[in-house]
Chains A and B, each alone.
Chain A
Amino acid sequence: MKTPRLLTLAALLVAAVEAASAADAIPVAISTDTGGPSTRAVLTFSKPVACHVVETAGKVQVACDQAIAPSPAKGTLGDAILAGFALEGDRALAFTTGRGYRKVESFEIRNPSRLVLDFEGERGGAQAAAAAPAVAPGKSGTIIVIDPGHGGVEVGAVGVSGLEEKAVTLDLARRLAVLLQKQGITAVLTRDEDRVMPLDDRTAIANQNRAELFLSIHLNASKRKSAIGAETYYLSADATDAEARTLAALENKAYQSPDAPQATPVSPPDHGLELILWDLAQNSYLAESSRLAESIQKELNALTGVRDRGVRQAPFRVLMGATMPAILVEVGFISNPEEETRLKADDYKDKIVDAIARAVADFRRGVAALDTGGGSSGASRP
């Protein structure tokens, strides 16, 4: 079905590459990512090249049957799993593994031709601390990452009196951190000041800290001024449908046409597959995320006394890629004037974080019960 189309594309690519530099080394773009549980290297070849992965002591070598020109030609990661890489001869790329390295997994992707290497192993706490600014200072034990929604020029929703979501979420996050610390938990905030913070970086902080839980705090807004109450979200399963998304990514690649005119206003999504695979990380935690969301929603419903707005699922960007149970809680509607007024009051904010902290404790007790075999069977790890 797809083959003729791919051949057309491949022919165009080959023609372009050959016209540019006949018989030269094949350009290979190297990218690495230490933000996940394993360290990933992606080699993007400008045209298909046959390579194989060979493991020797302290090294993982990618040996190809043609000369390659990696860009960059060498790199230092300073990662506990992967120390760096360098070109060896003219057709091999050698990855130097670190102390924490255990094994490597590799797979290939077409259009464009890519080789993905996942270096698995353990990173020490010191390594994680070097990689991210907002990492708990060398403490062992439980870490929970709290994410105050929005920040900086991204003010979030604004109430009729001018109250800004970004300020309330930061205030709530700081209050929650104090309560969690009383439970013996190290709380790490994704931002502890009023500044813009990219969504991916928020999740990355949780991953790099190997946080037990990721709690993103937001305020809701609706055109319906009467809308009130809390809602807790976890990621929708559709959004993590691995097969569909991988397929969509490949289709997107096949869709590109290098000789199309420049003037088109249209640019279908063009993402590296490595990004998509990281996005699937939350897939393994949906059952736990659901339970955590239920736990928080129950407490907030009891607090607000409003009808159950319930737990919901949505493809929220900040939850994708989290390698732990992750939820986004909308603690109230800033678009409702009465709720906005309540959200300004210190005692109400304390009640909200008290409810969330209780829910976290409940959830963790449930996990502990499961770990010792005393829990119900309905909440097992997927």
Chain B
Amino acid sequence: MTRGVPRALALALALLPACGRAPERGAPPAETTPAGAAATPGGVPEPEQGVAPLAKSSVTVWFPSSADATLVGESREIVDTKRAADRGTQILQALLDGPQGSEALAAVPEGTTLRQLWVRDDGTAYADFSTELARGMAGGSEDELLAVYSIVDSLTLNVAEIHRVGILVEGRERDTLSGHVDLRRPLPPDRKLAATRAKE
């Protein structure tokens, strides 16, 4: 099995203060989330600390539409952090928190949490969710398709560093969530699904 991540995290964290971005050599590519990266090696300075407060930026989080089989965008503000994984984590958290308007529906089953998100130098992000994401799926392809692309499109259409998204459940890859959409490899965005924004 593949077990590259903690080592990659450690190396990336060790090298980040020096070069300001994930290293290109000496280690598998890694940018990291703060959430899952508790194992920071002792003595390594925290990157991006002690500087001026970060600006906020507006993103569009994509939810299943309550009107048709597409996604509808709702605006959210996130802290404009330097690392793509930090921005992505905030976006996914907003997605999991659910829609605010009546034009959108919850994207993922109730109780679903984000365990970790990490972003590689090649533009692939891996989002690891709790078991509810698969267990709570009702079994229809429309729900499954919209859940998957609410995650993929919310990340790829907002975070320039993310081009495709792999979805994991409890740290493991799955063939599908409920028998339809192929999750064996990272998915690029479906721009046709994300076509309309909710009225403000």
Q: Is B184 a contact partner of A269 (Cβ separation < 8 A)?
A: yes
Q: Chain B residues near A142: list those with CB within 8 A.
A: none
Q: Is A223 a contact partner of B29 (Cβ separation < 8 A)?
A: no
Tell me if B143 counts as interface (CB < 8 A to partner A): yes
> Which residues of A from 109 to 154 have beta carbons under 8 Å from B?
149-150, 154
Question: What's the Cα separation between A165 and B178 when bound, in Å?
Answer: 13
Q: Is A199 a contact partner of B2 (Cβ separation < 8 A)?
A: no
Tell me if A317 counts as interface (CB < 8 A to partner B): yes
Question: What's the Cα separation between A314 and B25 when bound, in Å?
Answer: 36
* Known contacts A8-B26, A221-B138, A244-B188; is-contact A309 B2 (Cβ 8 Å): no
Tell me if A220 counts as interface (CB < 8 A to partner B): yes
* Known contacts A269-B166, A317-B182; is-contact A221 B173 (Cβ 8 Å): no
Q: Chain B residues near A254: list those with CB within 8 A.
A: 28
Tell me if A315 counts as interface (CB < 8 A to partner B): yes
Q: Is B139 a contact partner of A157 (Cβ separation < 8 A)?
A: yes
Q: Is A251 a contact partner of B126 (Cβ separation < 8 A)?
A: no
Per-residue B-contact encoding for A240-277, CB less than 8 Å = 1, 0 else: 01001101110110111111111111111111000110
Tell me if A4 counts as interface (CB < 8 A to partner B): yes
What is the CB-to-nearest-CB distance from B170 to chain A, in angstroms, rounded to a whole number? Answer: 7
Q: Chain B residues near A295: list those with CB within 8 A.
A: none
Q: Chain A residues near B2: list those with CB within 8 A.
A: 252, 255-257, 267-268, 270
**A3: nearest residue on chain B (CB-CB)?**
B25
Q: Is B28 a contact partner of A255 (Cβ separation < 8 A)?
A: yes
Question: What's the Cα separation between A149 and B173 when bound, in Å?
Answer: 22
Q: Is B179 a contact partner of A150 (Cβ separation < 8 A)?
A: yes
* Known contacts A227-B142, A264-B6, A265-B171; is-contact A8 B188 (Cβ 8 Å): no
Q: Is A199 a contact partner of B176 (Cβ separation < 8 A)?
A: yes
**B25: nearest residue on chain A (CB-CB)?**
A4
Question: What's the Cα separation between A204 and B91 when bound, in Å?
Answer: 39
A266 is contacted by which of B26, B168, B180, B190 (Cβ under 8 Å)? B168
User: Which residues of A line the B interface, CB within 8 A?
Assistant: 1, 4-5, 8, 149-150, 154-158, 165, 199, 218-224, 227, 231, 233, 236, 238-239, 241, 244-245, 247-249, 251-252, 254-271, 275-276, 309, 314-318, 320, 328, 330, 333-335
User: Which residues of B line the A interface, CB within 8 A?
Assistant: 1-8, 24-29, 36, 64, 66-69, 105-106, 115-116, 118, 120, 122, 124, 126, 128, 138-143, 145, 164, 166, 168, 170-173, 175-176, 179-182, 184-188, 190
Q: What 9 A-B pairs have minimum CB-CB distances, sorted nearest first?
A: A221-B140, A265-B171, A257-B4, A4-B25, A260-B3, A317-B182, A157-B139, A157-B140, A260-B7
